Chain A
Amino acid sequence: MLGVTYAILFYIATLILVFGVAAKIRTYIRVPAPLKIPTTPAPKTRTGVFWRMFREVVFFESLYKSNKWIWLFGWTFHMSMWLVLMRHLRYFSQPVWGWVEVVQPYGTYAAFGMVVGLGGLWARRFFVERIRYISTPSDHLILALLVGIVLSGAMMRFVVHTDIVAVKVYMLGLMRLQIGFLPSEPVLLAHLFLVAMLMIVFPFSKLLHAPGLFFSPSRNQIDNSREKRHLAPWAAELER
């Protein structure tokens, strides 16, 4: 019964995540940027833009320039999250890929990085006047959701071990559309439920910053407006 409930939950969450984000990305691709608006100085070649985006995505370059504390907490959280996510691939693959094995020990302790990062970001929402002013309930809620996921996950790894083999069998089954047995351990169930919630809110929340970053014209445009004419389809209509 539990296995079925969670199976439905995860199938729905996955569909919402995939189609929701895909729809958003489709919109971002479809909507043209009518003018060249890179924040200059900007690269004058495609390769240059690639590296600018690379530095933004991997090092959070602009955020570093802006505020060292937000950068420290934000970057720590995100990088730790990637390690943790990579580590989690072991529950969805059989045999486990070699590089996932390599990541395993780092991914385990990265949970603490996530806690520190999230904690710092959340504390700023209470203690820094300016950030308190701009925070809405949803900003706190997303942090709560993430903290809940990390704490429940870390608890299973470091405090109350769950029957992880059974969980993996269940997950591999779901991937083949076979619903198996899911251990009824409260921490595990909480962890999985919160993850499903995160997947569901993703396309409707500020988590869209992830795909959004790649479509930000001020960052991804090449500074070559004098050399190459840039014209949006709707603007071309004006010239008829």
Chain B
Amino acid sequence: MTAPDNDVPQLSHPLEIPKLKCGAMADSSPYVASPEHQKSVKYPGELLPDWKERALAKMKELAEKNRAFQVYLDACVKCGACTDKCHYFIGTGDPKNMPVARQDLLRSVYRRYFTLAGKYFPKLVGARDLTEEVLDEWYSYYHQCSQCRRCSVFCPFGIDTAEISMAAREIMNVVGKGQKYCNEIIGKVHKVGNNLGLQEKALRATLEDLEEDIEEDTGVSVRIPVDEKGADILLVTPSADFFAEPHIEGLIGYAKVFHEAGVNWTISSYASEAANFGLFIGSYENMREVSLRIRKAAKDLGVKRIIFGECGHAWRVAYSFLNTLAGPWDFLDQNYPIPQHICEFTWDEMQKGTLKLDKTRNDHIRLTFHDSCNVARGSGMGDDEGGQFEIPRNILKAVCNHFYDMPRDTIMESTLCCGGGGGLLTDDLMDLRTKGASPRMTALKQVTEENGVTHMAAMCAICKTQFAKVMPKFGYEMDSVLSVHQLVSNAIVLAGQGDDEEDAHKVAIDAA
């Protein structure tokens, strides 16, 4: 364990309310998209001379096209219920990271130009003109929101800061001030099909290597098919699953589950990405374009089902929006949920008893589970309300003997964001990411102290990458974060593998 850095916030408990530090994060600002990146997502290359008029026109348009935006701008009473709910506020103390204050950065401008009170009594209602300083402030603080929706759980009107922050980013994009990280990535998906810009050839080579690794480790040939026409299931998974740790261990887990379940499945090289950063920039059009790739892939390959791998915001887009954006899915098998989550599939198989599991292979792990924000508050799983909490926990408890939840007010619908979601998973925001992760890390420390927890499972590519990066700053090894299906992978005893128990056990330890 490494010693914690000095600039890492030390909280006495996960939800400790900080003293206000005005302007503490005013300088935090991610790289602005280059003209080339802007054009790849169909936005102007740079800040336009008439940006102000365009921004206001866009604001008006959004208020006419999105009920949430309109209602949320009107309904806030400044009661303060949300003020201590944002992990970035807890971690930074910057009052503009309080959800209501973040909304007000935009609401103040809306009031000035679109409400009677703001037009005639701006000072009275806190309305202000749209200036370049305001735009810069938007750029800074709307990129300090991971759109995790924790505030919306606690707002008496359900006001969702994510909606305001998405709208703000859309407005900034329209006037030519987009964020490099998101726009570059979306551009790659439009062009190549995944966030990494990984071409078909490279994808095939990577997955073939992975197949060899699995065979070497288990002695069983487990396939990871690409572009196989006539397969029953199309797996859409975040491209991080193809190369990053611990994501890749999760992909191995899915492959083993499919193998044991005896289903025909395939990955598509055309839609080789579950992530949809169109959500983060609030762009219906970009989000739709990315989603339509999945529809095309499903049609071209002739699959009957679509299953999504472990990815938080991707699951929100899949579960809540895919039917809207790229439906109707009348050409798929209606006997299964469309789309289905890999956890739903795995849990079904576990209940059917098709998977042979050896829990003791995870005995060296004392585990907790991080509910990813977009899964917890923006989607569901299974048939029951709250299935997104139960199903992954059921799976983990089925494959691991030592499972302990973190404090109740930091999990499930109250879960704390990892600190890197919503398009903030970029190195130029490292300080923000570390501070934003501190509430979650403090909750983790509590179960480490009380229950000796050594590892935390997550089912989101962003969470996994973020934790692998920030956990060392909080005294954990970077491999303390695990994929949910990595634990499944450890515990699965593949058909024909049973005789080789000792080898398998070794694999489990290596993987962990």
Closest chain B residue to A133 by CB distance?
A: B95
A selection of 8 A-B contacts at a CB cut-off of 8 Å is A28-B70, A32-B67, A215-B71, A218-B158, A218-B160, A225-B324, A226-B339, A229-B324
Query: When the two chains form their complex, are residues B83 and A131 in contact, meaning their CB atoms are under 8 A apart?
Result: yes
Which of B40-48, B72-80, B461-469 lines the interface with chain A?
A: B72-80
Let me know if B498 is at the binding interface, CB within 8 A: no
Query: When the two chains form their complex, are residues B284 and A129 in contact, meaning their CB atoms are under 8 A apart?
Result: no
In angstroms, how far is the closest chain A Cβ from the Cβ of B125?
A: 5
Task: Identify the A interface with B (CB < 8 A).
Answer: 24, 27-28, 31-37, 39-44, 48, 56, 60, 62-63, 65-67, 70, 74, 121, 124, 128-131, 133-139, 141, 201, 204-206, 208-209, 212-213, 215-219, 223, 225-226, 228-232, 234-235, 238
Cross-interface CB contact of B123 among A128, A137, A225, A238, cutoff 8 Å = A137
A213 and B77 alpha carbons, distance in the complex (Å): 11
Which residues from A are CB-within-8-Å of B404? none
Query: When the two chains form their complex, are residues A141 and B160 in contact, meaning their CB atoms are under 8 A apart?
Result: no
Size category of the B interface is 35 or more
- Chain B 317-329 against A: per-residue CB contact (8 Å), 1 yes, 0 no? 0011101100110
In angstroms, how far is the closest chain A Cβ from the Cβ of B21?
A: 11
A65 and B324 alpha carbons, distance in the complex (Å): 32
Closest chain A residue to B376 by CB distance?
A: A40
Query: When the two chains form their complex, are residues A218 and B385 in contact, meaning their CB atoms are under 8 A apart?
Result: no
Which residues from B are CB-within-8-Å of A135? 78
* A62-B154, A229-B327 known; A204+B116 contact, CB < 8 A: yes
Query: When the two chains form their complex, are residues B377 and A40 in contact, meaning their CB atoms are under 8 A apart?
Result: yes
In angstroms, how far is the closest chain B Cβ from the Cβ of A119?
A: 15
Query: When the two chains form their complex, are residues B124 and A41 in contact, meaning their CB atoms are under 8 A apart?
Result: no
A219 and B83 alpha carbons, distance in the complex (Å): 20
Closest chain B residue to A206 by CB distance?
A: B77
In angstroms, how far is the closest chain A Cβ from the Cβ of B317?
A: 9
A60 and B389 alpha carbons, distance in the complex (Å): 24
In angstroms, how far is the closest chain A Cβ from the Cβ of B16?
A: 13
Query: When the two chains form their complex, are residues B324 and A63 in contact, meaning their CB atoms are under 8 A apart?
Result: no
Closest chain A residue to B327 by CB distance?
A: A229
A130 and B79 alpha carbons, distance in the complex (Å): 10
A201 and B120 alpha carbons, distance in the complex (Å): 13
Closest chain A residue to B108 by CB distance?
A: A136
Closest chain B residue to A233 by CB distance?
A: B65
Let me know if B184 is at the binding interface, CB within 8 A: no
Let me know if B63 is at the binding interface, CB within 8 A: yes
* A41-B386, A41-B413, A124-B80 known; A212+B324 contact, CB < 8 A: no
- Which 4 residue pairs spanning A and B have beta carbons closest together? A212-B75, A66-B154, A136-B126, A218-B158
Query: When the two chains form their complex, are residues A235 and B125 in contact, meaning their CB atoms are under 8 A apart?
Result: no
Cross-interface CB contact of B337 among A43, A56, A226, cutoff 8 Å = A226
A131 and B195 alpha carbons, distance in the complex (Å): 41
Query: When the two chains form their complex, are residues A216 and B159 in contact, meaning their CB atoms are under 8 A apart?
Result: yes
Query: When the two chains form their complex, are residues B380 and A223 in contact, meaning their CB atoms are under 8 A apart?
Result: yes
In angstroms, how far is the closest chain A Cβ from the Cβ of B340?
A: 9
Query: When the two chains form their complex, are residues A39 and B81 in contact, meaning their CB atoms are under 8 A apart?
Result: no
Closest chain B residue to A74 by CB distance?
A: B79
In angstroms, how far is the closest chain A Cβ from the Cβ of B366?
A: 28
In angstroms, how far is the closest chain B Cβ from the Cβ of A16?
A: 11
A139 and B117 alpha carbons, distance in the complex (Å): 13
Which residues from A are CB-within-8-Å of B65? 31-32, 34, 232, 234
Cross-interface CB contact of A37 among B85, B160, B385, cutoff 8 Å = B160
Which residues from A are CB-within-8-Å of B101? 133-134
